Amino acid sequence: MTQMALVIDLNVCVGCHACVTSCKSWNTSGEAGTLSDQQPYGKDPSGTFFNRVQTFEVGEFPATETVHFPKSCLHCEEPPCVPVCPTGASYKRKSDGIVLVDYDKCIGCNYCAWACPYGARELDEQRQEMSKCTLCADRIENQSLPEADRQPACVQACPTSARLFGDIHDPQSTVSVAIREQGGYQLMPEWGTKPSNHYLPRRKVEIKLHEDQLARVDNPIKIDRKLPQPGMNEPSLDDVASW
């Protein structure tokens, strides 16, 4: 059985939000589109996003690292949002495993949002319908597009190729090879949802600096011989400000 999914490489994601903006663009952001964004900022923000990028720091100062963590619907193999839907609007497509919403049936009851442990469902308050990432199902099946363009908009827009797309059930696919060779992992597997999307873990990089690398060779203070010499006192803040 085919299961299409995203594999995101956390080593090369730079948090540029190209995936977010391309998703908005393809899904026609605005009053007439499926991703309303009437008032994204302010006291009462209104808008929906299929894809978000969370940025945070890990480690202890000064050895900290910035991590950019893209997150969207994980298209679970056992999606908890599907069985709780009272109208059958949420469903998992058999042909490729993508979890979708039939907007003609959706009544905006929020049951699917409550069932999703990843916070991937949002209520479009303007249309009163639940919304989520579709893996650009309308794009990957569009025969009028060149074959190279039949992939999610976020994948095509990523400038660092941090996002891969393919069938994780095909052992020879690019995504399966990446998961297998780079230790790809699922988000919160303990929930038993079997998320299809995977993440490639960040590699630990230890940077060692020698003492002579702590000051640049072309440091103007060093050139002007204003760095403290052996036996001299450290310059005060007032001294540095006068330089």
Give the residue, 41 or 181, on which the prediction is more confident.
Answer: 181
Domain boundaries, the chain: 4-200, 212-242
The model's confidence at residue 238, banded by pLDDT at 50, 70 and 90, is low
pLDDT tens sequence across 135-190: 999 899 888 989 888 999 999 999 999 999 999 999 999 999 999 999 999 999 99
Q: What mean pLDDT, rounded, does the chain reach?
A: 84
The CATH code of domain 4-200 reads 3.30.70.20
- Beta strand ranges found along the chain (DSSP E): 4-9, 51-60, 63-72, 90-92, 99-101, 122-124, 129-131, 163-167, 198-200
pTM of the model: 0.79
pLDDT tens sequence across 6-34: 999 999 999 999 999 899 888 875 555 56
**Are 101 and 121 in contact, with CB atoms under 8 Å apart?**
no
What DSSP character marks residue 188?
Answer: S
